[in-house]
Structure formats: C-alpha cells, structure tokens
Amino acid sequence: MERLPDLKLASLRRLKADLIVVPCFEGEPPEKGRLPAALASVVARLAARDGWRGEPKQIAEAAAGGGTAVRLIGIGKRRELDARTLRLAIAAAVEGGRRAGAASLALVVPQHPRTAGEAGAELVAREALLAAYRFERFRSERKPRAPRQIQLLPAPAEEAAYRRALDTAAVVAAAAAFVRDLDNTPPNEATPEWMAEQAARLARRHRMRVTTLGPRELRRRGMGGVMAVGGGSANPPRLVRLEWGRQGPAVALVGKGVTFDTGGISIKPAQGMEEMTYDKSGACTVLGVMRAAAELELPVRLRGYLPLAENMPSGAAYRPGDILRCYNGKTVEITNTDAEGRLILADALAWAAEEKPEALIEYSTLTGACVVALGVTGAGLFTPDDDLAAGLLAAAEASGERLWRLPLWSEFNEEMKGEHADLRNSAGRWGGASTAAAFLSNFVGGVKRWAHLDIAGPAYVGADSKGPKGATGYGVATTIAWLRQARQPKTQRAR
C-alpha cells in the first residue's frame, strides 16, 4: 500500500508548505483572513485577476517566495456545495500537489455547514488522505508521489472539532485504503485462498478469532451455494468467519467475495469483464470495517462472514437448471449462473443468522439493476426495519457516502419462488435489485434488524467513469459512523 500522508492541523505561526491551496466559492472573495499577511496579499492579487470568479475547476496560482506557491481553486456556488463536490475539490487540491511535485500541502478549509463539526472534520480529513491513494504495486515505474504531509487550516471556531476528529479520520482512511488494496489486487493473485489468508493476517494483527471453512467442511455443512459457485474453478472456495470484541451489541457483517466473476456457464460479454475483479468488494469492505472498529476499540461485538468463490465455466461448473440446497435447508433452482453472488451470500447469511446477532448488515456488488437505478455514486439500501434504515441513512449522510432506500415489496418475494424448488436465483430483468434483495431475505432467519447494501455502483470507479480507476473503499466510513452512533438497537436504548 502506498503510505498515506501525514495529516495535521496547520499552525499560523509556523505555516510552511510547498503548496497552499485556497478553495473559493463562486462570486465570493477568498477566505484569506486565516493566512499570514504575506500569503494573504498573494491570495488577494490572484483573486483580483481578470476572469477569476471561483467557478468549478478554475485555478489561479502564483509564487509566494521561499519555495512556496499559492493556488486558488474554484469550487462553485456556496449553496451547491455537497459531499461530492467537496470531495472533488479536495481531490483536485491533492492531485495538484502531486503534479507540482510538492512534498507538503496546506489546505484552507472553506467555512460551510458541510465542513463544520466533527462529522465535517472527519469527512475533510479522510478525503484529504484518500485523495493521495494510488494502487501502483504492479508498476515498474511509478508516477510522482502525492504530498507526504497535508496540513488542514480550518476556521478558528472549528479547530477543536478538527483536532478531535483527526485520529478517527486517519484510522477510517487507512481502513478504506486497506479495502482498496485488497479489492484492486488482480484475480490471478487474489484467489479465495489469498483472501482467506488476508483475513487470517488481519485477525492475528488485531487479536480476532478466525475460522476458515474449506471445500470439505463446506460440503459437510451443506453450504451448497458457495460450493456450486466455486465448483468450476481451479481455486476452491472458502468461507471465513471473524470475531472481534467482547462487549456491546452483537453485529454481524456479511460481504460478497466473488474474486472473479465470468458469469459461469451464463458467461458475461467480454467487454468490461476485467472489472469483475471488483466483485469481491463486499468482502473487502467487511475486513476494512473490522479493522477500523478494532483500532478504534468500539464497544461492539462484531462477527464478519466472508463467502469467497471464483465463478468460472468448466466441466465442474454448476449449470442453469441445477437445484441446490443451501445451509438453512432451502432449495434454489438455477436459472442464471451469473446471479451467483446471492448464492454464496445465502450460506453466509444463514450462518450469521443462526448465531442470533442483534443486527446484520450485508454488502455486495450484487446487481447491475441497482447501478441502472442509482448510477455509480450511490448504493441501494434494502431493509424491513425503519429504525435501522434511518440510522444507516444518517450515518451515510454524515460520512459523505450516498445511500438510498429501495423497496422490499412482498411481490418481489413471490417472483423469486421456484418451479421445482423453494426459490429460483433470478427472476429476470424487471426490478432486479429488489428481487435480489427479496431472495436474500429468505436466509436471515429470525433476525429482524437486517439490511442489504447493494454497492455495485460506488464500490469502484470503472472505465465509464471519470477519475482514477479502481476500488473506492465505499461503506467503511458509513458503517463506522453507524456503529459509533447506533451501538444498541432502539428497543434496548429505550429501556
């Protein structure tokens, strides 16, 4: 992993950086009052240039002496600033430092409700760190490094909040970078066995209990979903269970870990298939959340479940028309081998539900239908529990990750009933994100507080999107925010 920069609050008395970035709202004077007089005068001269308005992506730069440069970047109208535009502005600032070869960068944090308080401070700090991330382990020649140090200069009234937030932001950013590293690792290396090894290594580092099931034990336990999906590959499947924490509510986290998805017998088109290395994003997210929770010592009992398989076509692959039996005894008729994620999740969800957690959260790059509905910047939330939905949506809003609740109407479950088995694994095109969620609902047992997050859109940046390609680490910040705020179910909090 490329080492993330050192992050600290800037000191006006000792403010020194190779590049000082001042974001500016459109039609407003730059916030130069926090800068020393010499630097403030440079900012004033830049803002007085003909044509400067602070429009999005507009840049003005000048030398300030002593090896320091000052750069203004336009971030658009104040009323239009949201988490996404703020993230893009921070990324532009850090990328500008990389291209300029700056070893250190100072960022004047614009005064705005989105950057205020500890939630705003965590968002700014986390995104400043992650903007420096690049996955370059396989490059023979690496691109210029991002700044090794980033200083944040918030408004004086926000300094205390930023000081409190830095440590947490650094932990969450490092966990998200860890997720990106795992998710970006190519499928010729990141096999189910390799993913299980990474989970075991994390467990040793953070004193977690780990159980890994191989093919023989999966077969013995009747985990037919994982066995079927992984059956066509030379890299056999695994199912990993991690456990951390001895106090607080029990929360289960389940993540889809298809290390590569060809679609199996129902093979995918060649175009874009290389992006199916990211079909393990859910499992990577679970590992990142557990890492961050352990480092922050959150008072929760976390159990993580990672079903890991490679979906390949071969003489041993499962077929359309097969009928499988999953861990909870339900049978599934296969209509499409490219609807494989829900099959491995079925076994993992049933195992998690059997252990009676107080809440269960599942993450998966499950459907293209969710991407069609919400695009690539937001995840779909499915849950029958309004309190859990409210908590997760609030956590996503605070952390700057987009999450939108979608329906779980009863007719979706009707559509998933099989002809010759209890269920079928695909009901066709219409409402595909909701029918997939309805399928999963058959494997959560008696757990009432459960949620499915379809992260197919925001889990990675693909060839059809702008910006650096690769995994994003989506979901770590939201889940940590939720765990910190909603440590107990509503029924317990009310007692």
**Could you list the active site residues?**
268, 342
d(CA 199, CA 187): 16
Q: Among 70, 99, 340, 304, which Cα is nearest to 206's?
A: 304
**Bridge partner residues of 361 (DSSP):** 253, 451
Name the token pair of 361.
């959260």
- Residue 13: its H or E element: none
> DSSP code of 442?
G
d(CA 436, CA 260): 20
- Rg of the chain taking only CA atoms, in angstroms: 24
